[in-house]
Amino acid sequence: MKPRNLLLTSALALACAGTVQAETFRLGTNGDLYGLDPHSMTDSFTVSFLNHVYEALVRYDADLKIEPALATSWEQIDETTVRYTLREGIKFHDGQDFSAEDVVASVKRAAHEDSPIRGNIAGLVDAKMVDEMTVDLMLDGPNPLLNNFLTNVLIFDSGWLEEHDALDPIDAQKGEEGYTTSNANGTGPFRFESRTPDAQTVLTVNESWWDEPQHNLTRIELNPINSDATRVAAMLSGELDMIFPSPLQDAKRIESTDGMHVLEAPGLRAIMMGINMSDKSNNPNQDGNPLQKVEVRQALVHAISYDLLRDKIMRGKSRNLGGLVAPQVPGFDEGVDAIPAYDPEKAKQMLADAGYPEGFSFNMNCPNDRYVNDAAICQALAAMFARVGVKADLTAETKAIHFERARANETDMFMLGWATLPMLDGYSVLSAMLHTPGGQMGTWNPGGYSNAEVDRLTQAVATELDAEKRHEMMVEAFRIADEEVAWLPLHAQPLSWAARDAVKIPQTADDKPRLWLARIE
């Protein structure tokens, strides 16, 4: 079935709220999708929602363990070749048969040099059909995380892509659009029905889905509502079945409302600030770029009160982070994770020693609709920096604009959250954020951090099959990055959802609502 365009009501004017069937799931979120192409962005929320429409060869279950999806099995043919046997009898939503041709086209599209998700399949040399239901993936060396990567490489219908001139990838976070931006055709548990950007996206159940449904949903309505207060009000008035995320400051009010409950758990997402390390500041009032000096970056670390951010801004729900990965992620080390002491006087002295006794100015950009209390965190940081004489010119903006500026290195400091998805491994940070940019590496290193030893360790981690050796190398790379303040880590973000009591849904540490596992009872 081809996508249809329907006239929609806005997210806050759900005209049929009082008569909607129990199986309609009305989800309120703090921001909209970037579009409908899962290869066009690295935004984990967008990709996670599109997992309801598209599927990968393998997927994470509710316990975040790898399980078969469009592939039923796989085997290591040799050191650099893995063979996947595909599931038979699957059809795309438009009725076309799923085959190896679709896998080859999709994998090559994801790994294309212009693809923003090419880092999710680093090391791919080629993808080849063995027969209609068998595919070989050829790599440049052993890859201990191949299946972890593949959970995020969703499969398109190759004929559909070709028909609509979409075989090459687009980059939504650079503002690029194509047919796949507003149309979708997958194999997943739900079909795309309609979309009005910034208002509502509607999916309907795929009655022909290959898997045995655990959900009882016939329709999903995604309603982006940027305002926390408005989103909570819509939830409490019965217009929504669930909100994601749920504002920390409203947890007690929601819990005390009949028929409502809050779901909270430790999360994987590390919130951090990226840093411009080029020769030139993006602030017109500043000569050169003070942030290029490691001594300046080290000074700013001591200007931050991690406890204040946790206790006041995050309502005591976050976990302070001195490193770039959460404790659940392979590569975490307690030594690297040590929290720097809050010492404004020391920060001032270090800045003076670095040649900035009067401080300096720089631009700071933050989203106001992506992470928990994101704008408030940046406002607090700006105040802390001001206390040591450093002026942060803060701009808070919608995530689409924010990440476009960040990736273009148009700001001196920017906020980023990284949950190491899809691979659930420290290599995610090493390869995307710490390796020198080039090819499939450093795809989220717009500030230009570069260290030859970190690059060497990252490349070794990519092919090391011994788990203990891999861990040691990751820890060493993170130690170097920590000493050089390659990024400025802040905290591990807590998971916070709220739902009606009738909603039953597993909350996983990757902060991805899997609605094919949800029920309304």
pLDDT band for position 465 (cuts 50, 70, 90): confident
Helix axes 467-483, 452-463, angle to 10 degrees: 160
Residue 3 confidence (pLDDT) above 80 = no
- Burial (CB count <10 Å: 0-12, 13-18, 19+), residue 361: middle
Nearest to 8 by CA among 284, 234, 200: 200
Q: Which pLDDT score, from 0 to 100, does residue 275 have?
A: 98
**Cα distances (Å, whole numbers) of residue 489 to 33, 290, 492:** 26, 19, 9
Q: Which pLDDT score, from 0 to 100, does residue 15 have?
A: 35
Q: Which pLDDT score, from 0 to 100, does residue 11 have?
A: 35
Residue 16 confidence (pLDDT) above 50 = no
- pLDDT above 70: percentage of residues in the chain: 96
Q: Which pLDDT score, from 0 to 100, does residue 312 have?
A: 95
Residue 159: both structure tokens together: 């004929």
CA 386 to CA 158: how far, in whole Å? 54
pLDDT of 193-230, one tens digit each?
999 999 999 999 999 999 998 999 999 999 999 999 99
CA 73 to CA 83: how far, in whole Å? 8
Residue 503: both structure tokens together: 């909603």
3-state helix, strand, coil in the chain (%, to 5): 30, 20, 50
pLDDT band for position 18 (cuts 50, 70, 90): very low
Q: Which pLDDT score, from 0 to 100, does residue 7 have?
A: 30
Q: Which pLDDT score, from 0 to 100, does residue 175 have?
A: 87
> Phi and psi for 273 in degrees, rounded to 5?
-115, 125
Q: Which amino acid is at 112?
A: H
- List the Cα angle 120/121/124 in 5-degree steps: 165
> Phi and psi for 487 in degrees, rounded to 5?
-135, 165
Q: Which pLDDT score, from 0 to 100, does residue 485 have?
A: 98
CA 65 to CA 72: how far, in whole Å? 15
| E-strand stretches of 398-463 | 413-418
Please name the residue that has the structure tokens 């063995």: 130
Residue 328: both structure tokens together: 């659940």
Q: Which pLDDT score, from 0 to 100, does residue 97 have?
A: 98
**Cα distances (Å, whole numbers) of residue 40 to 158, 199, 392, 399:** 16, 21, 31, 15
Please name the residue that has the structure tokens 């593949």: 150
Residue 130: both structure tokens together: 């063995």
pLDDT of 353-362, one tens digit each?
999 999 999 9
CA 515 to CA 517: how far, in whole Å? 5
Counting every residue written for the chain, the total comes to 521
pLDDT of 79-126, one tens digit each?
899 999 999 999 999 999 999 999 999 999 999 999 999 878 878 999
Mean of the per-residue pLDDT values of the chain: 92
Please name the residue that has the structure tokens 């408005």: 230
Residue ranges of domains in the chain, CATH in brackets: 24-244+497-520 (3.40.190.10), 270-492 (3.10.105.10)
Please name the residue that has the structure tokens 């207060």: 229
Residue 10 confidence (pLDDT) above 70 = no
- Per-position DSSP letters for 108-128, written without gaps between them: HHHHSTT-TTGGGGTTEEEEE
pTM, to two decimals: 0.74
CA dihedral 350, 354, 359, 364 (to 10 degrees): -90
Q: Which pLDDT score, from 0 to 100, does residue 354 have?
A: 97
- Burial (CB count <10 Å: 0-12, 13-18, 19+), residue 240: buried
